[in-house]
Amino acid sequence: MQQSLSSHTFNTMNILILGSGGREHAFAWKIAQSPFCKQLYIAPGNPGTADCGINVPIAVTQFEELKAFCLQHSIDLVLVGPEDPLVLGIYDFFQQEALQHIHLVGPSAAGAQLEGSKGFAKEFMQKMKIPTAAYRAFSSADYEEGIAYLQQHALPVVLKADGLAAGKGVVIAASREDALAAFKEMILDRKFGNAGDKVVIEEFLTGIECSVFILTDGQNYQLLPSAKDYKRIGEGDTGLNTGGMGAISPVPFADPVFMQKVEERIIKPTLLGLQQEKIIYKGFIFIGLIKVNNEPFVIEYNCRMGDPETEVVMPRIENDLLPLLASLKMQTLHDHPCVQSTLHYATVMLVSKGYPEAYEKGTQITETAVAGRSLLFHAGTVLHDGKLLTNGGRVMAISSAGDSLAEALTVANQNAATIQFEGKYFRKDIGWEFE
């Protein structure tokens, strides 16, 4: 089947999504609705994605196995969910002759450095004059210099391991002792292994955070709905950091005036910088921002979509996502605007007792019905002998719509209370600062 859309024509496609979390279930839910989707596969997927397509038991970093699968099943487009395969160079791997006809959505390894190396990202922002916290980077060779820098730095101070550290590589030290101890742990004791070969020490910024997402073909970009996630485990933003306990979209303060600043000062210089460095980037950029006195500063870049942000962003995209993704290869994204819904969405994450520290797996989930304008996205679940069991810290996300943020939050919370498994925990105060 061939359908015409805008000035371009796409064939129907066989699609492979890589990943197994709530983000990938939200992608699968969205893509399965497209008339351009012939067959959808998810590797490795979860019981939720199995309702949208076919799960394939291949891990996201098994490049050779993924290659064989793509060739065998005539895959046309691969959408990469998590950062690991991108930082490991899956885009570059797919440039080999046998795979060149397959369109992989995601940056090259060089582009993925925006997330894979905090030192690279800071240097890039400094060069492009993109607003971000003042910083210096140190390695073990200049350990003493780093200590001296920390001795005179204002408090609190932020230390970041350069490489990927499963979301644990950032320390906000309130005292000099804590700062020095964290620096030693990262550089000398190698707490995060090679990820701590270099450490970024930066100024602590005070403000409210939000996330802005773009899809880019390297030349053009489309803004996706903004979102705010809630990283701490405890209500009132207290306790340990997690992968994310909930999210809302849109973000009340990301209004047109603020977004104009973000586009002019951050998004456009980011794309210009990538072009100047001749870095191939055809995928998502997730820009973690902090608003300081109404001005946006970049906290971090990620080379992928966020989780649980995708669970509120996908339901707010009104048009078909596949033409946008398919347009990246030929750099015709300017022909495919992203149409954002006026509805509000809130997602609440249900997690296992103990998360983000040690938690139990294998608990039966006995009630999964959702009511109202709501979607249930699986994250850490598994089917065993016909029973749905917990299989991770973050178990499921409930995304609910409302004509107002308050309505979306109320419905999401009601559903979160209904779903049943032993040890279930969720934050009841997602979106609290806007109520």
List of residues contacting ligand GLY (CB under 6 A): 229, 244, 302, 306-307, 309
Choices 22-30, 67-75, 98-106, 203-211; region in contact with ligand AMP by CB under 6 A: 203-211
CA-CA distance, 347 to 227, in Å (whole number)? 10
CA geometry: angle at 237 spanning 236 and 238, to 5°? 95
Does the footprint of ligand AMP cover residue 125 (CB under 6 A)? no
Residue selected from 209, 235, 277, 407 as contacting ligand AMP according to rule CB under 6 A: 209
Q: Which residues pair with 297 in a beta bridge?
A: 290
* Residue 333 identity (one-letter amino acid): L
Burial grade of 216 (CB within 10 A; 0-12, 13-18, 19 or more): buried
CB-facing half-sphere around the CA of 231: CA atoms within 13 A: 12
Q: How far is the CB of 397 from ligand GLY (least distance, A)?
A: 11
CA-CA distance, 288 to 372, in Å (whole number)? 31
Of 210 and 389, the one with the shorter C-beta distance to ligand AMP is: 210
Does the footprint of ligand AMP cover residue 170 (CB under 6 A)? yes
Q: Which residues pair with 388 in a beta bridge?
A: 383
Q: How far is the CB of 140 from ligand GLY (least distance, A)?
A: 27
Which does residue 216 touch among ligand GLY, ligand AMP, none (CB within 5 to 8 A, set by kind)?
none
Token readout for 419 is 């779903």
Q: Which residues pair with 10 in a beta bridge?
A: 3
* Residue pair 94/283 in contact by the 8 Å Cβ criterion: no
Does the footprint of ligand AMP cover residue 205 (CB under 6 A)? yes
Q: How far is the CB of 230 from ligand GLY (least distance, A)?
A: 9
Of 65 and 209, the one with the shorter C-beta distance to ligand AMP is: 209
Does the footprint of ligand AMP cover residue 191 (CB under 6 A)? no
Residue selected from 204, 219, 237, 425 as contacting ligand AMP according to rule CB under 6 A: 204
Residue selected from 44, 273, 288, 423 as contacting ligand AMP according to rule CB under 6 A: 288
Which does residue 158 touch among ligand GLY, ligand AMP, none (CB within 5 to 8 A, set by kind)?
ligand AMP
Neighbours of 194 (CB within 10 A): 12
Q: How far is the CB of 133 from ligand AMP (least distance, A)?
A: 4
Contacts of residue 285, Cβ cutoff 8 Å, sequence gap at least 6:
114, 213, 214, 216, 270, 301, 302, 303
Of 98 and 174, the one with the shorter C-beta distance to ligand AMP is: 174
CA-CA distance, 96 to 58, in Å (whole number)? 20
Q: How far is the CB of 399 from ligand GLY (least distance, A)?
A: 14
Does the footprint of ligand AMP cover residue 299 (CB under 6 A)? yes
Does the footprint of ligand AMP cover residue 162 (CB under 6 A)? no
Residue selected from 86, 133, 409, 419 as contacting ligand AMP according to rule CB under 6 A: 133
Residues 210-239 close enough to bind ligand AMP by CB under 6 A = 231
* Residue 92 identity (one-letter amino acid): D
Burial grade of 150 (CB within 10 A; 0-12, 13-18, 19 or more): buried
Whether a cis peptide bond, with omega within 30° of 0, leads into 225 is no
Query: Which residues of the chain form contacts with ligand AMP (CB under 6 A)?
Result: 133, 158, 167, 170, 202, 204-205, 209, 231, 288, 299-300
